[in-house]
Amino acid sequence: MGKNGRCLVIGLDGGSPDLIRRWANEGRLPNLARLIEEGAFGPLRSTYPPISAAAWVTFLTGQEPGQHGIFDFRNYDPTRYTCTDEAIVNSTAFAGRTMLDVAGAYGRRVGAVTVPITYPTWPVNGAMVAGYPTPDAKRAFTYPPELGERLGSLTEDSAFFRSRAPEEVARELIRLVQDRAEAARWMLQDDDYDLFIVVFGATDRAQHDFWHHFDPDFPTHDPAEAERFGSVILEVYQEADRAIGQLLETMPEDTTVLVMSDHGAGPRATRQVHFNAWLAQEGLLQMRQGGGSPLRWARPLYRAFKARFPYQEQVYRRLPPALKRLASRVDSDAELGIGDVDWGRTVAYRFPMYPPVEGIVINLRGRQPEGIVEPGAEYERLRDEIIEHLQGLTDPETGTPIVEVALRREELYRGDHLERVPDIVVVMAEGYEGGSALSGPFVTPIPLDDLRRLSGAHRMDGVLIARGPGVRQGERVEGARIVDLAPTILYTLGVPVPRQMDGRVLADLFEPGHVAARPVERVDWTGERVGLEESGLSEEEESVIREKLRRLGYIE
């Protein structure tokens, strides 16, 4: 493949191509503007759903979620009516099979700073600082372990974000960018890396929390509050832009530089579609007779407690096993209402995913505990009927189409983990997300309190900027996907691309002569999982991380 290259990858979690282009054109992001001018720029399609856990693992492995098995921060499980198991995903599912491992096996020195889902860290030919989520935001988890002694707090503390005033949150976001940049610069100056990756998560958090201050058209926009906080998203991007400039100064001129994001960002949907309520109206979901779950009266109180008490998992960890089981049952019932459903008479139900993606599961005999639909012809007929009805579904109040597309799972995913995915995958139309009601109107407004608490949402298209040897200058990138980045990065390093990777080398990024002189090489690569414990997390670590994810709205 020719001589070895060098690659610097800068991740802006949730980085929006629209915001970056706008602010770069206005001169507010000078370093990103220079990279766009000197290289290629365009959208980067995320995973389905566009959630950090799935997208960053896809980035690292070059495999789609159906191959690596991680679709969310919890493992999907259609055999359970809770739709997930209790385990929090972590790096042990894929450690040893990432582009870091491939590059290291070919003698390239690698470094990774705060890439999400890299806890626990694992041995690489270089260094790694674990990214979110970790059990303790006050320390760095690293490989080699002694590296952590020189680094401070580099990951997000979710309880802090959900319990502090907006001005404190804004300051913490800036600090996180600055401290990650400083750690990355120090590592780059201390060692010589062929591949170095650093991810800044503050851009995503800023958009989730401050979008309603930034966007005058958002329903909860308050002009007085916007005077104070309307510039926070821009300020975080500007801090990231400064960090990019500093990192570029540490790298040789012939380095290939990629700036990318795991997904995009935009305003949160303002209306929610309750697919269980719709399925009930269609006669496909039946409620228990006699009033439903005995816990139903406690649900409002429980939900209020969860929304206002940021340290609930610290209490949960101290409960005896019997009370833990009861708490878990109450939680599932409060969030999904599963105690109200008569499973023995229900043929299909909602499978929560992550906006804008939803799922519907068939209650299949032999798969679910009380499945009643026969596998084979009856299953396929039911899927076809539901998909046909979904395709034409409109908002009863506005007449607006609700569904962008509804697909059989095998039309969207492939791989060894296809059975983890709901039978039908629904991509929602702009302005809609999933809701959990079991009865009543199947489309309702999202409460304003919820929109104030979380006003920014993910979009399917993130950003890709590339500059370096052979990269076409001033070109717009089209058709790039996050799964393509690992093969493309390995290509820039002069490393063969494993055939096990689903992604392709983005040859259109480069001048034709560059690719002709350095043709893509595909090989079978037999990298194995490294020797970490199967779970990777203790019960206490699981509890701490679960609390972090709940507080940031990533799990229910």
pLDDT of residue 328: 56
pLDDT in tens, 63-79: 999 999 999 998 999 99
pLDDT of residue 295: 55
* Residue 542, pLDDT above cutoff 70: no
pLDDT of residue 134: 85
In the chain, pLDDT over 70 holds for what percent of residues? 84
DSSP 454-484: --EEEESEEEEEEESTTBPTTEEP-SEEGGG
**Domain coordinates of the chain in residue numbers?**
7-268+456-551, 271-446
* Residue 395, pLDDT above cutoff 60: yes
Lowest mean pLDDT among 158-162, 164-168, 260-264, 530-534: 530-534
The amino acid present at 498, given as its one-letter code, is P
* Residue 216, pLDDT above cutoff 50: yes
Where do the DSSP E strands lie in 409-529? 424-428, 432-434, 443-445, 456-459, 461-467, 475-476, 480-481, 497-498, 522-523
pLDDT of residue 86: 75
* Residue 366, pLDDT above cutoff 50: yes
Helix (H) or strand (E) holding 452: helix 448-453
Q: Which of the following CATH numbers is that of domain 7-268+456-551: 3.30.450.20, 2.40.170.20, 3.40.720.10, 3.90.1640.30?
A: 3.40.720.10
- The answer to whether the CB of 118 falls within 8 A of the CB of 532 is no
The average pLDDT across 433-458 equals 96
pLDDT grade, residue 306 (50/70/90)? low
The average pLDDT across 30-50 equals 98
pLDDT of residue 534: 45
pLDDT in tens, 480-525: 999 999 999 999 999 999 999 999 999 999 999 999 999 999 999 8
More confidently predicted of 526 and 438: 438
pLDDT of residue 1: 43
pLDDT in tens, 311-320: 454 455 455 6
pLDDT of residue 532: 47
In the chain, pLDDT over 90 holds for what percent of residues? 77
* Residue 102, pLDDT above cutoff 90: yes
DSSP 60-89: HHS--HHHH--SSSEEE-TTSTTSEEEEEP
pLDDT grade, residue 289 (50/70/90)? confident
Q: For residue 9, give every residue at least 6 positions away whose Cβ sits within 8 Å of its Cβ, in sequence order, or none.
A: 195, 196, 197, 198, 257, 258, 259, 260, 485, 489
pLDDT grade, residue 273 (50/70/90)? very high
The average pLDDT across 270-274 equals 98
Helix (H) or strand (E) holding 442: none
The average pLDDT across 370-379 equals 98
* Residue 527, pLDDT above cutoff 60: yes
The average pLDDT across 394-399 equals 96
pTM summary value: 0.90
DSSP 373: B
DSSP 115: E
* Residue 161, pLDDT above cutoff 90: no
Greatest mean pLDDT range, 233-247, 304-318, 523-537: 233-247
pLDDT of residue 153: 75
Lowest mean pLDDT among 90-104, 240-254, 535-549: 535-549
pLDDT grade, residue 138 (50/70/90)? confident
Q: What average pLDDT does the chain have?
A: 89
How many other CB atoms are found less than 10 A from the CB of residue 430?
Answer: 12
Could you identify the residue written with the tokens 């802006």? 12
CA distance 282 to 386: 10
The average pLDDT across 47-54 equals 97
pLDDT of residue 326: 58
Where do the DSSP E strands lie in 468-544? 475-476, 480-481, 497-498, 522-523
pLDDT of residue 277: 97
